[in-house]
């Protein structure tokens, strides 16, 4: 990844077009945006693993209890809040990455099907995550309608914490969601790594066309790109 970031830094000096409408860095160039996406997905994947370990510790303490006592809830409250924020951040990263692809295609055209496949993969990832979380919440008699936004999810957790049975339901759901988030973040990281490699290839061709006046940008962009994971 360090080698890729150095390459992108060099491209940033050549390609200065802002990555409009990506929603991650105001005024960032496309290479800078890609670096940010690579950095964030790595951070989120690590955070997912850390949260799973925290949930597992609390869950093991409450495993044989029918209801969750208040003292154990204190240990679960912070990881639950962090999990809600992680889900929101990961979804935001997926949307921002889709916007980066769309902005590159709008600015330079569509080099080939690889970038379109990448955008579709990101969209499918978001839909799949939503579906899995909704299914988990339903399994523990929690309404997904109350978890549509970060604010509403935090409020739903607060409401559930008012009873011992509610605390146990939320802990069980959180423990399971933290596990699926580890897998989901690994999947998103693989998608972003492969998709950003495709974007890096496209931006490299753009930079090459700027330095080689004998080749037009359109012809260069239509050159074959080695596919990533799509």
Answer whether residue 198 is part of any domain: yes
3-state helix, strand, coil in the chain (%, to 5): 80, 0, 20
Structure tokens at 16: 């200065």
Give mean pLDDT, residues 28-55: 92
Answer whether residue 217 is part of any domain: no
C-alpha 32/C-alpha 109 separation (Å) is: 19
Measure Cα distances from 222 to 64, 111, 203 in Å.
61, 5, 12
At residue 114, does pLDDT exceed 90? no
Answer whether residue 214 is part of any domain: no
> Angle 30-62/2-14 helices, nearest 10 degrees?
150
Answer whether residue 12 is part of any domain: no
Answer whether residue 54 is part of any domain: yes
Single out the residue of 38, 37, 31 nearest to residue 12, CA to CA. Answer: 31
The range of the structural domain enclosing residue 191 comes to: 37-60+76-209
Answer whether residue 176 is part of any domain: yes
Question: For the chain, how many structural domains are there in total?
Answer: 1
- Say if residues 115 and 198 touch (Cβ distance below 8 Å): yes
pLDDT value, residue 225 = 37
Single out the residue of 50, 152, 28 nearest to residue 100, CA to CA. Answer: 28
pLDDT digits (tens, 9 = 90+) for 69-99: 888 898 999 999 999 999 999 999 999 999 9
Single out the residue of 152, 47, 30 nearest to residue 89, CA to CA. Answer: 47
Answer whether residue 124 is part of any domain: yes
pLDDT digits (tens, 9 = 90+) for 115-174: 888 999 999 999 999 999 999 999 999 999 999 999 999 999 999 999 988 999 999 999
pLDDT class of 3 with cuts at 50, 70, 90 = low
- Say if residues 188 and 94 touch (Cβ distance below 8 Å): yes
Answer whether residue 181 is part of any domain: yes
Helix or strand or coil: residue 192?
A: helix
In which residue are the tokens 């409408």 written?
21
C-alpha 46/C-alpha 37 separation (Å) is: 14
**CB atoms inside a 10 Å sphere around CB 208:** 14
């Amino acid at each position: 990844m360090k080698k890729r970031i150095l390459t992108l830094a060099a491209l940033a000096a050549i390609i200065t077009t802002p990555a409009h409408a990506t929603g991650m860095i105001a005024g960032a160039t496309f290479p800078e945006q890609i670096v940010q996406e690579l950095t964030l997905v790595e951070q989120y994947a690590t955070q997912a693993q850390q949260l799973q370990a925290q949930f597992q510790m609390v869950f093991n303490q409450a495993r044989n209890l029918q209801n969750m006592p208040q003292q154990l809830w204190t240990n679960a409250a912070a990881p639950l809040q962090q999990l809600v924020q992680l889900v929101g951040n990961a979804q935001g990263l997926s949307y921002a990455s889709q916007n980066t692809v769309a902005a590159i295609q709008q600015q330079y055209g569509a080099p080939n099907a690889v970038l379109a496949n990448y955008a579709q993969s990101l969209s499918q990832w978001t839909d799949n995550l939503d579906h899995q979380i909704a299914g988990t919440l339903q399994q523990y008699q929690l309404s997904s309608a109350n978890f549509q936004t970060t604010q509403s999810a935090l409020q739903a957790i607060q409401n559930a914490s008012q009873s011992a049975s509610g605390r146990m339901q939320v802990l069980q759901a959180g423990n399971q969601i933290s596990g699926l988030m580890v897998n989901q973040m690994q999947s998103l990281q693989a998608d972003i790594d492969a998709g950003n490699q495709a974007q890096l290839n496209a931006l490299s061709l753009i930079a090459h066309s700027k330095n080689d006046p004998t080749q037009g940008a359109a012809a260069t962009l239509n050159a074959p790109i080695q596919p990533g994971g799509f």
